[in-house]
Amino acid sequence: MTTEEAHKRIEYLTQELNRHNYLYYVKHSPEISDYDFDKLLEELQTLEKQYPQFLKPDSPTQRVGGEVTKEFPVVKHKYPMLSLANSYSIEEIIEFENRIKKLIESRVEYVCELKYDGVAIGITYLNGKFYRAVTRGDGEQGEDITPNVKTIRSIPLQLQGNDYPAEFEIRGEIFFPRKNFEKLNKEREESGETLFANPRNTASGTLKMQDSAVVAKRGLDCYLYGIYGDNLPFTSHAQAIQKAGEWGFKIPPVEKKYIAICKTVDDIVAFINYWEIERKNLPFDIDGIVIKVNDYAQQQELGFTAKSPRWAIAYKYKAERVSTQLLSIVYQVGRTGAITPVANLNPILLGGTIVKRASLHNADQIEKLGLCAGDYVWVEKGGEIIPKIVGIDTTKPRDTTQPIKYIDTCPECNTPLVRNEGEALHYCPNEFSCPPQIIGKIIHFTSRKAMNIEGLGEETIDQLYQAGLIKNIADIYDLKKAQLLPLERMAEKSVTNLLQGIENSKKIPFERVLFALGIRYVGETVAKKLAKHFKSLDNIINARYEELLTVDEVGEKIAESVVNYFHEIYNLQIVERLKLAGLQTELKTNEAVLSEKLKGITFVVSGTFKYFSRDGIKQTIEQHGGKVSGSVSKNTGYLVAGEDMGPAKLLKAQELGIKIINETEFKNLIA
């Protein structure tokens, strides 16, 4: 391919991928499969590496993130980011409309929109290209979080059409769709991490993350609600939203009633009432409705107060809250030993369901509320699935004013609790003999995504534990028919099924066995990465902290957790027994082993090559028994240097005296 051909192809792929991205994330009507999309993206990535001079900031490859920002630069807003006046009753909406009627003589039309519950963002476009994205901050200045916002697929990097102004700012709300939020929390639960409380705070936290690659994976989304600039080609808010849609932005669909033009206050009230009921069926959280005067000239006439526009108002839905008595607090112990306080409440109806329990999160939360035994408390169902206690109902008498004292020993095994610096939760450190931790670990081990042992559900595990037959995950593989038959609900058939289920689990691939061990912070994805990198459990057991850190997605917290896990003799004994039982502790690959010429040598591969693709070189190294690592350290045997390699790696290799070889020299090594 000539340079000119490469340039053309890059431009073609950029355009095509941006188009498919739009069809998928904005229009929800893809034309090609995910697989074909990934193939095109891969091709573009390869070409951009070979011809970095043609890499453009609006390239769809920039969506996958990777840019790491230490500190986000502070930027002054060209147009201050104001907030909206809030209202909580229909009377206030009627007053708002009356006020406007008095100030504007001609007829006024309103646009009603959803009030998305997320994080406000202002994105500047220059000549149709995504230029910069800034948070609201204090309204005067915010933080430039461009690399993170660029990963949100529904925000165009290049606009469509040709009637957009050379410079303008578009504002909207970035939010966490409920489905993606639940998925993220499920993953966290599986890897033993504390759960995020609600989509809004998580969206906000995600946008402030330093590694944009992590942001890219979380699946944030964005709706746009306002355009600011000079010489805009429209004269009303509804037209602005429509234009934004034509330029490729995700705008609220009229057919789903996410947005409506209202001519009377009755229309506005109908919109509010409709969403009061329907909002629970939306795929994202809203906390109200926004009502805006449609016409720009009328907006201008109305102007602003010090804090907010006179031409708009937010109607906020009240989170339904009820008062009930706190009966007791129970402290649950999870499989990782994390303690979660849960309030037992006098049962009460809230939002259509009877609430008996509410989460209290942690010790700080209880202290902040100033909770005392027997208090009447306000319970609310907000964005969270589990209701929460938001305050004390001070209209009710109190039994005592002595604040509840958080437990300092484990409620299950009496071991003194620990709380690590910077962590919100208390932990029971007695991981090997605290019953709920043992049972929790076994439940995790047998679960569907781990060893998937049929016939060994939570109840049976509990039964077998109580009967003294299993005290850890390795005991499962020693279970005998004669031990099981005398137990309740264990007829011949269920015993046979259970033992068959256990036998079948021996075929479960290594990466799932690794996940099943329940090492803290090692979720499904990390387990896969570790398995792929190290190939066998023994290699992971012997891996040093530094080497673990070279694995994609493994940071300090995970590396430390893996090292600690295999530092425990008890765990090593369990793992040994699992191996003897016949579980898969090596990665099964169909990549042929060609030789052992590179055995024991670790390579780092960087840059682009003439004869090999980068992945091709890596595969060849592994096929000849070598190992591939992502970063140069004193354990590196060779650095295979291609064109355009990163200067940091080269310098580090020179500094440590690592052998640097080119492609031909590499070929000679395996010849």
Please list the active-site residues.
115
> Longest Cα pair distance anywhere in the chain, in angstroms?
90
**422 Cα distance to chain centroid:** 21
Whether the CB-CB separation of 353 and 347 falls below 8 Å is answered with no
Closest contact distance (angstroms) between CB of 85 and ligand IVH is 8
Q: Within a 10 A sphere around the Cβ of 225, how many other Cβ atoms?
A: 24
- Distance (Å, rounded) from C-alpha 356 to C-alpha 349? 9
Closest contact distance (angstroms) between CB of 83 and ligand IVH is 3
Closest contact distance (angstroms) between CB of 72 and ligand IVH is 18
Q: Which is nearer to ligand IVH, 87 or 180 (CB)?
A: 87
- The closest alpha carbon to 499, from 517, 477, 519, 474, belongs to 477
Closest contact distance (angstroms) between CB of 313 and ligand IVH is 10
What angle, 0 to 180 degrees and rounded to 10, lies between the N-to-C axes of helices 3-25 and 34-50?
150
Cβ-proximal residue to ligand IVH, closest one: 120
- Distance (Å, rounded) from C-alpha 604 to C-alpha 304? 60
Question: What's the distance, Cα to Cα, between the start and end of the chain in Å?
Answer: 28
Closest contact distance (angstroms) between CB of 230 and ligand IVH is 18
Closest contact distance (angstroms) between CB of 169 and ligand IVH is 12
- The closest alpha carbon to 536, from 670, 448, 446, 627, belongs to 627
How many residues does this entry show for the chain? 671
List interacting residues with ligand IVH (CB under 6 A): 82-84, 113, 115-116, 120, 136, 173, 225-226, 290, 308-309, 312, 314
- The closest alpha carbon to 40, from 15, 68, 75, 23, belongs to 15
For residues 112, 114, 116 and 117, what is the CA-based torsion angle, rounded to 10 degrees? 110
Closest contact distance (angstroms) between CB of 119 and ligand IVH is 7
- Distance (Å, rounded) from C-alpha 636 to C-alpha 64? 28
- Distance (Å, rounded) from C-alpha 99 to C-alpha 310? 9
**HSE-up of residue 631 (Cα within 13 Å, Cβ side):** 11
Closest contact distance (angstroms) between CB of 140 and ligand IVH is 14
Closest contact distance (angstroms) between CB of 556 and ligand IVH is 35
Q: Which is nearer to ligand IVH, 293 or 562 (CB)?
A: 293
Whether the CB-CB separation of 398 and 375 falls below 8 Å is answered with yes
- The closest alpha carbon to 504, from 577, 455, 442, 576, belongs to 455
Ramachandran angles phi, psi of 317, nearest 5°? -75, 135
- Distance (Å, rounded) from C-alpha 650 to C-alpha 662? 12
Closest contact distance (angstroms) between CB of 89 and ligand IVH is 18
Q: Which is nearer to ligand IVH, 173 or 511 (CB)?
A: 173
Q: Which residue carries 């479960």 as its tokens? A: 508
Closest contact distance (angstroms) between CB of 114 and ligand IVH is 6
For residues 254, 259, 264 and 270, what is the CA-based torsion angle, rounded to 10 degrees? 90
Q: Which is nearer to ligand IVH, 121 or 358 (CB)?
A: 121
SS (H, E, C) 215-281: HHHHCCEEEEEEEECCCCCCCEHHHHHHHHHHCCCCCCCCCCCCEEEECCHHHHHHHHHHHHHHHHH
* CA-atom Rg of the chain in angstroms: 30
Q: Which is nearer to ligand IVH, 314 or 338 (CB)?
A: 314
- What are the angstrom distances between the C-alpha of 560 and each of 443, 521, 555, 556, 563? 24, 10, 9, 6, 5
Q: Which is nearer to ligand IVH, 76 or 481 (CB)?
A: 76
Q: Which is nearer to ligand IVH, 82 or 407 (CB)?
A: 82
What angle, 0 to 180 degrees and rounded to 10, lies between the N-to-C axes of helices 458-466 and 435-446?
140
Q: For residue 161, is it left (φ>0), alpha (ψ between -120 and 50) or beta?
A: left
Tokens in use for 193?
């991490």
Residue type, 340: T
- The closest alpha carbon to 142, from 160, 157, 121, 170, belongs to 121
What angle, 0 to 180 degrees and rounded to 10, lies between the N-to-C axes of helices 199-207 and 178-190?
80
Residue spans of beta strands (DSSP E) within 381-433: 388-392
Q: Which is nearer to ligand IVH, 136 or 520 (CB)?
A: 136
Q: Which is nearer to ligand IVH, 212 or 299 (CB)?
A: 299
Q: Which is nearer to ligand IVH, 226 or 248 (CB)?
A: 226
- What are the angstrom distances between the C-alpha of 582 and each of 483, 510, 574? 21, 11, 13
Q: Which is nearer to ligand IVH, 152 or 314 (CB)?
A: 314
Closest contact distance (angstroms) between CB of 628 and ligand IVH is 45
Q: Which is nearer to ligand IVH, 82 or 601 (CB)?
A: 82
